[in-house]
Structure 1
Amino acid sequence: MRRSKYHLLNKLYLVLNQPNCMNLVQWFSWYDEILADFGFDRSADEESAKLLQNLLGDDGLSPTDIKIKENVVIFGAGPSLKENVLEFKQINMENFSVICADGAVTALLEEDIVPEIVVTDLDGNIDDLLTSNHQGSIMVVHAHGNNMETLKKYVPKLENVLGTTQSTPLKNIYNFGGFTDGDRCLFLAGKLKAKNIILAGMDFGKVVTKYSRPDIDGELGHADSIKEKKLQYAKKLVEWMVENEEITICNVSNGETISMVKNIEFSDIPISK
């Protein structure tokens, strides 16, 4: 009964206060599973969300402040990232909005591409995150139980920030659904009315790159058990999005096959006019 009331209250909150957000009843069924599987602390997530709310004050963005094109490329930090970035540079980039997970921002900046939106819990290369932000990127900063000290240190250095949480949304802290930076990019794009979404550098396998794990020795490394499980959830959430939202999603990455997502080349990308 307690859980039913919790979900009902959050659904009511969604209707009244959370435009452009994922149905929280659906998200919290995922969230409950994630909490149990990883042993995360819901109260710590909620404390972090309140901290982010206080740090942003009245300066935080809302979804209505952000406009994107109907065609969106989402860059994750998987093994296909660098190759996909170079391929992206060969097409008319002006047709697309670029959203990236925080680890991918480094590879984009290396090729002089400043993403419109960076989705981050601030565990990527902080210098590159700050550079991208100061060059115009909107930062979608995510609060969770393990990044409170990082929020305190770096949020005051950022501008144009939209705050998110995976727990109960607050007045200026939103919950669009999604677990990892990569799949949260997808849920955000959907709620910002993207029509065609291209997944790039989103391989969902057992290999990590220096962009997602700067501490590895070399360009590539093996995902630890926690990272591997996070990527499995990310893939499941992408597949849920494909099945439940009226959005065309294609994949130019070279990683795992995503159910109901067509693998294409950048040259074959469908573009809304």
Structure 2
Amino acid sequence: MTERRILVTGASSGIGAAVVRAIAGPGVHVAIHARNNREGAGRAAEGARAAGAEATILMADLAQPGEPERLVAEAAAAMGGLDVLVSNAGFADRTPVASLTDADFARSQDTVLWALLRLARVAGPLLAEGRDPRLVAVSSFVAHNFRTDSTVFPASAAAKAGLEALVKALALEWAPTVTVNAVAPGYTQKDAGAHAALDPKAWEAVLGRIPLRRLGQPADVAAAIAFMASPAAAYITGQCLHVDGGVVI
């Protein structure tokens, strides 16, 4: 019997794929979302099934109006309901404000902030009928890290800061039925061959700014998300948990 029905967006690689690995097991049905990396989503699904979970692959471009709503509806139909939504899809944009076009800024907002709003509006009633319902949104340290010795990500920071504010608003609106929280990763290791916002030299310099002196691993972040998505996190809502090695203190 399926005991936990979980939709994870941006789950074909990186943190999203690690979340799938962290939550997969008997009694779990996970809907694995990807924008265009069906191969990566397939690998994540294979791993989930090997761990005893059911897995469904769903494709959608969350920056497009109507797509978040369709994704939630299809996930709920495939799983027979929804207990957990993990809103993870996003990307990093370090373009300086002076060079940032309206279209590029809007793309960050559409993929991160607007996607969360659109997902939440349709997921809310489904989650309210679920078991130990949770919404966990993936933010980022870039919404908190503004220093002259660090790279600043203006569009991403604005989108993630908005996401955290929306998390707090949803936590109030959906209480006491559904908990809503955010997890904010720090500098996190990318998958081999994946696009990185920083070059190798910049990544090396980053280590000196991390108190724990290492990059985070996707599994580090996934463990925190899995906890926030679990029944054990029943008395936590409206919070942002930083998983960043101490970058934001």
- TM-score class normalised by the smaller sequence: 0.3 to 0.5
Structure 1 length normalisation: TM-score?
0.35
**Larger RCO, structure (CA 8 Å, separation 6 or more):** 1
